[in-house]
Amino acid sequence: MSRLPEWPPSISHPELEHLTNLATTYALSHGLLYLPPHPPSGAPPPTQAPSSAIHAPFSIFPSPFPRTLFEKAQRLQRAYNSDGAEVGAGRVDEFTGELWKIWKSLRDEGIEQELQLGIFRSDYLLHASDESQPMLLKQVEFNTISSSFGALSERVSALHNYLYASTGYFNSSPYLKPENFPPNRTTAAVVEGLVAAHYAYGVKDARILFVVQAGERNVFDQRWLDYELLEKHGIHIIRQTLPELASSAHLSPTRSLLISDSPQSPPNATEISTIYFRAAYTPTDFPTPEHFSTRALLERSRATKCPSIQLQLAGGKMVQMALTKAGVLERFLNGDGDAQADGMFAFGEEEVREVRESWMGMWRLGDNPPAGSATPSGMERAAMNHANLVLKPQREGGGNNVYKSSILPFLETLPEREREAWIAMELIEPPVSVGGWLVRAGSTGSSATGPTGGGGAVKSDIVSELGIFGWALFGPGQVGGAAQTKDVAKNSETMMRTGEGGWLVRTKGRESDEGGVAVGFSVLDSVVLIDPN
């Protein structure tokens, strides 16, 4: 398939109003929610019970996606689960450098991560640079920390199924039928990894710790995981910020992580089995050295981290770039003789080829050729090809990249010492002629063609990004018990359990380079699968 159908389907003004009204009331009554924006001062409110909520941004129609490429993205996740569990990272920028120092300190102290849990999300765009050729699936990035919006995306899928069940989408498209709406069980899939880590820890009354940001607006996405853990598995959680943990967290003599009202009241402390980070991925989470000290204390505990610092570092752009070099990926997936002999991460040549085909070209801005070489430096290559590039730092959360025409002035002011912290990546070219009706709470309902009257729905040319969730629990010894283990790779020292099954779609206006929902660029979406003509 070289083109997607023209989208969205044509509907009348009253039909759009009706769909928008049904969708917003469904979102509000089914937990597809966000907390309202912070006050103009920008200061997040203190931790307190929320008194109001708004619906999360969403699309009215699911976005078209080739069925074969959707299935390929799901298939690739098994390799990425293993890949993410195995790679490491080096020193690059100041923030990442502080995390690296913590990991190096732990290594020098001889503290091993007994078990590690990765909840991963691999993000993709469709690439259609030549309409005479089939569309390709290209990876945007691989996330190893705070892979969010899984629970809310599952509810957007349910919303689109509801709109079809209640209206048939007014018979506006032959593609809109039940068999083209893939199932979405992201909440259960993510929780499955947390449950596996919790039971592998083996302490009956232990709890899972959610490390969160103060004033988190995306709290409902996290709460759905909390409810699933309690209602389906009887597992309790504790939610705390890094500043709260600075006074509440301490270690027992055996390195158990204990959470109490104060360090002076250990008899009332709760033991933690698993630390799930929904914070600690951005420099703003670490305004003082004490915040890094708290992270180090959590790392020193024997609780299973999701992710550990080294696994967080493995999600850095620099590591993803390094994997594209010849022979590096093969070392982790099928090139190591000992790994193959033990049945560990044994992927065939076809699977490795598919992973490589999902990547665009990447290089470091700090790359320098040997003296006398005619090969351009990383900076020179970026300057020469800036119109077709994006520059990415070691950051997560959206809003951090530099695109196309902004690259040259950025390079002119980039200090030499910071070049190692940036990579250049060839731009993915999404298919054209795809639009959608996007709804944000408080939207005025206007577009380039004038008021829509759709109760807040705005028509835009769109780009949709598909994220596939997976998880891996790994470390020395038995993981989760043989009876619980579905997919285990093992050798004499390591056990590993993995799982896949969840997905999300984030859709943005084509005019926007960035794509984060939390920072206001995108809406949550789902897919309608399209078969080749």
Tens-digit pLDDT string for the chain (533 aa): 568 999 999 999 999 999 999 999 999 999 999 998 876 665 555 556 777 899 999 999 999 999 999 999 999 888 877 655 555 444 456 788 888 899 889 988 988 778 999 999 999 999 998 777 889 999 998 899 999 999 999 999 999 999 999 999 999 999 999 999 999 999 999 999 999 999 999 998 999 999 999 989 999 999 999 999 999 999 999 999 999 999 999 999 999 999 986 544 455 789 999 999 999 998 899 999 999 999 999 999 999 999 999 899 888 777 778 788 878 787 777 655 444 434 445 677 888 888 889 999 999 998 888 887 888 999 999 999 999 999 998 766 556 789 999 999 999 999 988 888 899 999 999 998 899 999 998 765 544 333 333 448 999 999 999 999 999 998 865 444 433 333 434 333 445 688 877 999 999 988 765 555 554 568 999 999 999 66
- Residue 316: closest CA among 516, 95, 73, 75: 95
Terminal CA-to-CA distance of the chain, rounded, Å?
7
Q: Is 216 annotated as a binding residue?
A: yes
Residue 217, annotated as binding a ligand: yes
Residue 417: the pLDDT is 83
Q: In the listed set 402, 427, 452, which residue is the last one of a domain according to the structure?
A: 427
The domain containing residue 273 runs over which residues? 13-36+52-360+428-530
Q: Is 331 annotated as a binding residue?
A: no
394 is in an annotated binding site: yes
Same domain flag for 400 and 329:
no
Look at residue 509 and tell me if it is in a domain.
yes
Any domain includes 46: no
337 and 266 inside one domain: yes
pTM for the whole thing?
0.88
Is 184 annotated among the ligand-binding residues?
A: no
Residue 318 marked as a ligand binder: no
Buried b (16+ CB within 10 A) or exposed e, 34-57: bbeeeeeeeeeeeeeeeeebbbbb
Same domain, 516 and 402: no
**Is 364 a known ligand-binding residue?**
no
User: Is 148 labelled as part of a ligand binding site?
Assistant: yes
> Is 316 known to sit in a ligand binding site?
no
Question: Is the same domain home to 392 and 445?
Answer: no
Q: Is 218 annotated as a binding residue?
A: yes
- Rounded Cα distance between 315 and 120, Å, is 9
Classify residue 517: in a domain, yes or no. yes
On whether 465 is known to bind a ligand per the annotation, the reply is: yes
CA–CA distance, 271 with 19 (Å, rounded to integer) = 48
Is 229 among the annotated ligand-binding positions? no
Instruction: Check residue 93 and give its pLDDT.
Output: 66
Residues 412 and 497 in one domain: no
398 a known binding residue? yes
Q: What CATH number does the domain containing 385 carry?
A: 3.30.1490.50
Total structural domains in the chain? 2
350 is in an annotated binding site: no
- Same domain for 190 and 78? yes
Query: Is residue 516, in this structure, part of any structural domain at all?
Result: yes
Flag whether 399 is marked binding.
yes
Please report whether residue 44 resides in a domain.
no
Kind and range of the H or E element at 222? Answer: helix 219-233
- Helices and strands (H and E) in the chain: how many: 15, 24
What is the reported pLDDT for 382?
96
Picking from 386, 408, 427, the residue at the C-terminal end of a domain is: 427
Same domain, 185 and 319: yes
Asked if the structure places residue 99 within a domain, the reply is: yes
Shared domain for 513 and 412, answered yes or no, is: no
265 shares its domain with 382: no
- Flag whether 472 is marked binding: no
227/115 same-domain check: yes
Same-domain check for residues 406 and 289: no
Is 222 annotated in a binding site? The answer is yes
How far is Cα 461 from Cα 257, in angstroms, rounded to an integer?
Answer: 49
Residue with tokens 């089914």: 30
361 known member of a binding site: no
Rounded CA gap, 463 and 446, in Å?
Answer: 19
Strands 63-66 and 446-447: unpaired
How far is Cα of residue 122 from the mean position of the Cα atoms in its chain? 7
Give domain status of residue 423, yes or no. Answer: yes
Q: Would you state the pLDDT for residue 334?
A: 64
Q: Is 196 within a domain?
A: yes
Whether residue 516 is annotated as binding a ligand: the answer is no
Decide: helix, strand or coil at residue 398.
coil
Kindly state whether residues 405 and 460 are assigned to the same domain: no
54 annotated to bind ligand: no
Q: Is 533 annotated as a binding residue?
A: no
